[in-house]
Structure 1
Amino acid sequence: MTRLITHLRHVDLAVPDYDRQREFYAGVWGLTEVATDSGLSFLAAEGSPEQYVVRLRRADDKRLDLVAFGADSPAEVDALAERLGRAGVRLISQPGAVDTPGGGYGFRFFDIDGRTIEVSADVAVRGHRRLEAKEAVPVRLSHVVLNSPDLDATRRWYERHLDFALSDTLSSPRMGEVMHFMRCNPQHHSVALAKGPHTSLHHISFEMRGLDEYMYGTGRLLRAGVRMIWGPGRHLAGDNTFSYFLDPHGNTVEYTTELELLDEDTWHPSVHDFSRPEVTDQWGTANPMNELVARESFNDPDRGVFVAPPV
């Protein structure tokens, strides 16, 4: 199918302890700071053509500033803005020049839960490179998972307005459906929606070069004393590896690799019972999924709901 949104670009965070977060992401986590500007830090992944995959902003309150997606052309940006406007979606800005590294043409709007979403095209491609064997830093941004208090309403909104498709669902006999994996391209998911008590960031995931690099990176973080809350293991839905850590402000961040690519013409979504251990971790190497792990992923209630970031 033809979609106006093509891929995930970057995830932007507001952080009270800006210097500590900057040191974490540009240090042990393995991103590269490519630009700074008055309390803003733009961090790239070495293997990614995106200008940056994480933006940090110095702020009094912790919040998710925005999630940014790409489109193929300014015409498709305009078409999406017109569609959302007709449907009554609250636009934060009209399509125009994007004033961040790489420039481009885009606009912002609120999703159903009040998160700020940006869609842009014509962003300059960043010079990037092929990572070498044993180089255990992120190749690119893999996906973002968002907590929603009304899981199915949020799924329907992303399907209707942004053309995301459902890849798979996690469910259990006791809790019902708890996560929808959503795609905007053949990657199993660029966004996942998790059932949570409030609107918040669940986690941000970064793709590593391969299994060795994923494990080397996991080991580097453990040796540095970064708290790992779950992993290392391999999920069934998406077939990707996982090691989940907490950044200095309690946001969950993940190293992953080998996320499944789908044949969209033949794929049919499945409902996986995550109460079965082999669903959450095929390998059986990770600590069990339990309420403590889930509670960490709920994160703090987002203070940016229906409040656009200042930049």
Structure 2
Amino acid sequence: MTKPLITHLRHVAIAAPDLDRQLAFYRDLWGLTPVESETGVHFLAAEGSPEQYIVRLRKDDQKRLDLVSFGAASAADVDTLAARLAQQGVRIVHEPRKLGTPGAGYGFRFFDGDGRVVEVSSDVATRSFRTIEARESIPVRLSHFVVNSDNPEATVDWYVKHLGFKLSDTLCLGARGDFMWFLRCNDWHHSFAVARGPHVAVHHLSFEMRGIDEYLRGTGRMLREGVQHIWGPGRHKAGDNTYSYFLDRVGNCVEYTTELETVDWDRHHPSVYDVTKPDFIDQWGTANQMNEFVAKQQFNDPDHGVFVAPPL
């Protein structure tokens, strides 16, 4: 089966009133590197990633997701996808054009079925990056991005139909039914996922660490610093990756992870994992219980950016 025109996850842009505390969190605690700041917008990179930046922070009167950005292999692919989406009736925010963000590039933006802004770009200049050293507990790259939807089945169908993502696995809560869907655009088990929630919102941003030791050191650093701990450390069944979840300074859930599974694009067959079975929610058995507190934090606040394009 042909892979989608989207190649990978680039970055996530979020906004909130308390920009200074957000910046301090991601820079001084979480381990990202500021690469550029202009007119109050901050771009932060992962030392182990060639992406110009993986998180963009902006001050806004309301907490919101500005956009999620994916890569494409070429300008021709960007144009092809833009034309296809327009023909399918997808609301375009702006047509393909040269981008003014760090690394420039060529891209366009559109609303997904829930009203999030999605950007797809090509020809973005890469940045110098390095191998993360042993015991260095900072992110290597942005691993995946998960969103909440009050109509998740439709959201999953939208990403499969319009963007060519493929379902990797699903989580269910016993007889209560499915509640999370993992989608891939390359050989990583998931770069994007959709969770059932009471409203459209950010579920979590996930950051890949060098290995188990670095993942645990990062987890321990957050605990020692008194960062609000949500869930973990543990190891998921779907994706086989580790997890430790915390809250950033405005209540978005962020995750340290490592060893996310890679799968064969054509041969991987989706499974449904019932997380009422202990081994399916945490293979190690080390995490705190998944309960209403954990779920409530991951539901997050309603996104004020739904069908509202960010100012930049």
Confirm or deny: 8 A CA contact 1:115 1:305 kept in the other structure: yes
Q: What pairs with 1:172-183 in structure 2 (closer than 5 Å)? A: 172-183=173-184
* Partner-residue secondary structure (3-state), 1:88: coil
Please report how far the alpha carbon of residue 147 of structure 1 lies from its aligned counterpart in structure 2 after TM superposition: 0.3
Please report how far the alpha carbon of residue 84 of structure 1 lies from its aligned counterpart in structure 2 after TM superposition: 0.2
One-letter amino acid matched to 1:303: H
Instruction: Determine the structure 2 residue equivalent to 1:164.
Output: 165
Please report how far the alpha carbon of residue 15 of structure 1 lies from its aligned counterpart in structure 2 after TM superposition: 1.3
Instruction: Determine the structure 1 residue equivalent to 2:234.
Output: 233
Residues 96-145 of structure 1 deviation map (CA, whole Å, 9 limit, x = unaligned): 00110000000000000000000000000110000110010000000000
Instruction: Determine the structure 2 residue equivalent to 1:78.
Output: 79
Instruction: Determine the structure 1 residue equivalent to 2:156.
Output: 155
One-letter amino acid matched to 1:307: V
Confirm or deny: 8 A CA contact 1:214 1:255 kept in the other structure: yes
CA distance in 1, matches of 2:151, 2:117: 17
CA distance in 2, matches of 1:125, 1:176: 42
CA distance in 2, matches of 1:281, 1:2: 31
* Partner-residue secondary structure (3-state), 1:27: helix
Please report how far the alpha carbon of residue 184 of structure 1 lies from its aligned counterpart in structure 2 after TM superposition: 0.1
One-letter amino acid matched to 2:137: A
Confirm or deny: 8 A CA contact 2:174 2:275 kept in the other structure: no
Given the alignment of the two structures, is residue 186 of structure 1 paired with residue 158 of structure 2, yes or no? no
Please report how far the alpha carbon of residue 172 of structure 1 lies from its aligned counterpart in structure 2 after TM superposition: 2.0
Instruction: Determine the structure 2 residue equivalent to 1:212.
Output: 213
CA distance in 2, matches of 1:199, 1:178: 14
Please report how far the alpha carbon of residue 2 of structure 1 lies from its aligned counterpart in structure 2 after TM superposition: 2.8
* Partner-residue secondary structure (3-state), 1:186: coil
* Partner-residue secondary structure (3-state), 2:29: coil
Residues 234-268 of structure 1 deviation map (CA, whole Å, 9 limit, x = unaligned): 00000000000000100000000000000122210
Confirm or deny: 8 A CA contact 2:237 2:280 kept in the other structure: yes
Confirm or deny: 8 A CA contact 1:277 1:288 kept in the other structure: no
CA distance in 2, matches of 1:34, 1:168: 35
Instruction: Determine the structure 1 residue equivalent to 2:252.
Output: 251
The count of aligned residue pairs is: 311
One-letter amino acid matched to 2:40: G
Given the alignment of the two structures, is residue 135 of structure 1 paired with residue 168 of structure 2, yes or no? no
Matched residues, percent identical? Answer: 63
CA distance in 1, matches of 2:3, 2:274: 31
Instruction: Determine the structure 2 residue equivalent to 1:295.
Output: 296
Confirm or deny: 8 A CA contact 2:72 2:122 kept in the other structure: yes
Moved over 3 A (4+): none
Residues 9-43 of structure 1 deviation map (CA, whole Å, 9 limit, x = unaligned): 00000011000000000011000000001110000
Please report how far the alpha carbon of residue 3 of structure 1 lies from its aligned counterpart in structure 2 after TM superposition: 1.5
Instruction: Determine the structure 2 residue equivalent to 1:144.
Output: 145
TM-score (norm 1): 0.99
CA distance in 2, matches of 1:112, 1:275: 30
Instruction: Determine the structure 2 residue equivalent to 1:107.
Output: 108
CA distance in 2, matches of 1:60, 1:232: 34
Instruction: Determine the structure 2 residue equivalent to 1:39.
Output: 40
User: Unmatched 5+ residue regions in structure 2?
Assistant: none
One-letter amino acid matched to 1:256: T
One-letter amino acid matched to 2:45: A
Instruction: Determine the structure 2 residue equivalent to 1:7.
Output: 8
CA distance in 2, matches of 1:119, 1:263: 24
TM-score (norm 2): 0.99
CA distance in 1, matches of 2:230, 2:173: 21
Confirm or deny: 8 A CA contact 1:46 1:129 kept in the other structure: yes
CA distance in 1, matches of 2:164, 2:264: 17
Aligned residues: CA RMSD:
0.6
CA distance in 1, matches of 2:152, 2:93: 24
Instruction: Determine the structure 1 residue equivalent to 2:27.
Output: 26
One-letter amino acid matched to 1:238: G
CA distance in 2, matches of 1:305, 1:277: 35
One-letter amino acid matched to 1:5: I
* Partner-residue secondary structure (3-state), 1:232: strand
Confirm or deny: 8 A CA contact 1:43 1:55 kept in the other structure: yes
One-letter amino acid matched to 1:29: W
User: Unmatched 5+ residue regions in structure 1?
Assistant: none
